Amino acid sequence: MTALSNDYPDTDYLIIGAGSMGLATADWLARHSDASVQLLDAFSPPHEHGAHHGETRLLRQAYGEGSSYVPLARRALKLWRELEQESGETLFLPTGVVNVGPPGAPFIDQVEASARQHGLALDSLPGDQVSSRWPGWALDEAMHGCFEPEAGVLYVERILACWRERVEQNPQIALATGAQVIRLEAGEQGGWVAVCADGRRFGAGRVLLSSGQHVAPLMAGLGVDLPLTRVRKTFAWYACDARYAQDHFPGFSLTTPSGAIYYGFPDIDGAGFKIGRHDSGQPLVPGEAMAPFGEHEDDVRELQQVVDRYFPGVGALRSGAVCQYIRTSDEHFLIDEPLPGLIVAGGFSGHGFKFASALGEALGLWLDQGRRLPELALFALARLSDQGVAL
Given 47, 53, 118, 200, the catalytic residue: 53
Q: What are phi and psi of 24, to 5 degrees?
A: -60, -40
Given 11, 25, 57, 144, the catalytic residue: 57
Given 323, 327, 332, 351, the catalytic residue: 323
> How far is C-alpha 262 from the geometric centre of its chain's CA atoms?
16
Is 354 among the residues known to form the active site? yes
Is 274 among the residues known to form the active site? yes
Is 49 among the residues known to form the active site? no
Per-residue exposure over 30-41, b if at least 16 CB sit within 10 Å of its own CB, e if not: beebebbbbbbb
Q: What is the DSSP string of 178-223?
A: S--EEEEEE-BTBSEEEEETTS-EEEEEEEEE--GGGHHHHHHTTT
Instruction: Give residues with Cβ within 8 angstroms of 363, minimum separation 6.
Output: 21, 24, 25, 28, 208, 210, 335, 343, 345
Is 323 among the residues known to form the active site? yes
Given 164, 232, 243, 278, the catalytic residue: 278
Given 11, 56, 95, 256, the catalytic residue: 56
- Neighbouring-strand partners of residue 111: none
- Neighbouring-strand partners of residue 190: 188
Q: What is the DSSP string of 21-55?
A: HHHHHHHHHHHH----EEEE-SS-SS-SSSS--SS
Asked if 27 and 163 touch (Cβ cutoff 8 Å), the reply is yes
3-state helix, strand, coil in the chain (%, to 5): 30, 30, 40
Please confirm whether the linkage preceding 250 is cis (ω < 30° from 0): no
Is 78 among the residues known to form the active site? no
Given 144, 164, 233, 274, the catalytic residue: 274
Asked if 346 and 224 touch (Cβ cutoff 8 Å), the reply is no
Residues annotated as catalytic are 53, 56-57, 274, 278, 323, 354
